Amino acid sequence: MSKLDRRDFLYAMGAGGALLGAFPKTAEPSTGPGAIKPISGSWFEFQHHATVEGVDWNPQCADFTSAQWDAKVKEIADVGMEYLVLMATALYYRAFFPTGIFAPWHLACADPMEAVLTAADKYGVKFFIGGGFYGDWASPKIVSDPVAARKRLQAIDQLAQLYGHHKSFYGWYWPNEAFIDRYYSDEFIDYVNTCSRLARRLTPRARILIAPYGTRVAVPDDKYVKQLESLDVDIIAYQDEVGVQKSTPDETPKFYEGLRKAHDRARRAAIWADVEIFRFQGAVYKSALLPAPFSRVLRQLKAVSPWVDKILVYQYQGMMNKPGSAAFCGSPASTKLYTAYVDWRSSRK
């Protein structure tokens, strides 16, 4: 997930029609000059799309029982994270919920969607539910492919019917992420707005989130502001692209400052950050994801804090684990990042 460039080759998509004034137009007040915002939430997944990247947590997650999914959601809530963004409700032409669209994934937990939303109901976590992937996730044509588009809308309808009663069903996430090649493509805007149109009819109170990449090359000028005004989303969480080695914590403040100003002008979607707390074991996109050192993560949080309303991370799973977790998934180093973050967060109280 930069959601790993989260697909340099997923060159997509779009939107159009959010609620004005739904989110604050300026960043949350800090507790002092240079204050660092804590992590408000994380991406979440049942299986990571790239096997080599998720080698340290995919097998464990496949074996999680309903009780273990409960334990993992509680663990995340206990470190103060309020939001979880479910990346995929289907992947590789198999679904993570009961549907006739695709055959089911063969997981130890028969309905992981129900398990995590039930847990989130208990622990006060808000889920954004992913509307993908209903085709070849790696294809740049997934947003325009008519078969994938039909299945995607069918899935949004079914997900709302099956799980919309959960109080933790807070919103939607459109996971075919845009590459902001200076600006959003018309194709992306159409994709987002089509999904949002249906989602708002089915779940009028739900918030809608996107998380584009290309943050460093976005041009937040008049044209960009008009595109923001046309996107039917409530929140845009821009990827900081530090984990995928496209940016550094020294560079990102400039990018986010410009985007903040554009959002303040557009007065529509809130601006959040999607901070990458991973590193690659070897070559980028071709090796396992490992937790980044907390020293780097803290620099990333500090860099974006003045310019965004909230900070999400990619991602807790695999990169963070409470020592002795009943739902451990990731490398042994994940306990170090967890402990360092918890200690830092505790020291601020």
| Residue 132: CB atoms within 10 Å | 25
Per DSSP bridges, beta strands 270-276 and 169-173 are unpaired
Cα 28 to Cα 34: distance, rounded to the nearest angstrom:
13
Q: What pLDDT was estimated at residue 25? A: 38
Q: What pLDDT was estimated at residue 58? A: 97
Q: What pLDDT was estimated at residue 15? A: 33
Q: Which residues does 211 contact at the CB level (< 8 Å), separation at least 6?
A: 3, 6, 85, 173, 177, 236, 237, 238, 239, 274, 312
Candidates 3.20.20.80, 2.60.40.420, 1.20.120.1760, 1.20.210.10; CATH matching 41-347: 3.20.20.80
Domain boundaries, the chain: 41-347
Structure tokens given for 327: 């739902």
Give backbone dihedrals phi and psi of 72, rounded to 5 degrees, phi first.
-70, -40
Average pLDDT per run of 10 along the chain, which is 349 residues long? 42 33 39 79 96 96 98 98 98 97 97 98 98 88 91 98 98 94 96 98 98 97 98 98 98 98 97 98 97 98 98 98 98 97 93
Cα 113 to Cα 158: distance, rounded to the nearest angstrom:
12
Q: Which residues does 336 contact at the CB level (< 8 Å), separation at least 6?
A: 291, 294
Enter the pTM of the model: 0.91
